[in-house]
């Protein structure tokens, strides 16, 4: 079964991030996110996964701005 981590990794790499960057974003999110996201849990279905994805995407943009502000894929994370 696909985990939340697997889903985030798949989506973010489709949006242009490398596997290594996704790993950094997940760690950044774990350290800074007010909500405790279980990245090892089985992927959620429907609306809940949309909320988790949007939350992690927000932290991904924060990480991008701090670490690779001129990344070509940054606009993918700025859009809703």
Examine residue 74 and state whether it is found in any structural domain, yes or no.
yes
Examine residue 11 and state whether it is found in any structural domain, yes or no.
yes
Examine residue 14 and state whether it is found in any structural domain, yes or no.
yes
Rounded Cα gap, residues 10 and 4, in angstroms? 10
| SS3 call for 3 | strand
Predicted pLDDT at 80: 67
Residue 43 and residue 6 in contact, taking contact as beta carbons nearer than 8 Å:
yes
Range of the domain at 34: 1-45+68-80
Examine residue 53 and state whether it is found in any structural domain, yes or no.
no
The total number of structural domains that make up the chain: 1
Residues in a beta bridge with 3: 42
Segment 15-73, tens digit of pLDDT = 999 999 999 999 999 999 888 899 999 998 888 899 999 999 999 999 999 999 999 99
Examine residue 10 and state whether it is found in any structural domain, yes or no.
yes
Predicted pLDDT at 23: 98
């Amino acid at each position: 079964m696909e985990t939340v981590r697997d889903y985030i990794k798949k989506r973010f790499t489709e949006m242009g991030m490398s596997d290594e960057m996704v790993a950094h974003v997940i760690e950044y999110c774990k350290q800074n996110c007010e909500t405790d996201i279980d990245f090892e849990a089985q992927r959620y279905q429907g609306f809940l996964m949309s909320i988790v994805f949007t939350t992690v995407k927000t932290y991904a943009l924060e990480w991008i701005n701090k670490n690779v502000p001129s990344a070509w894929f940054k606009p993918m994370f700025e859009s809703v």
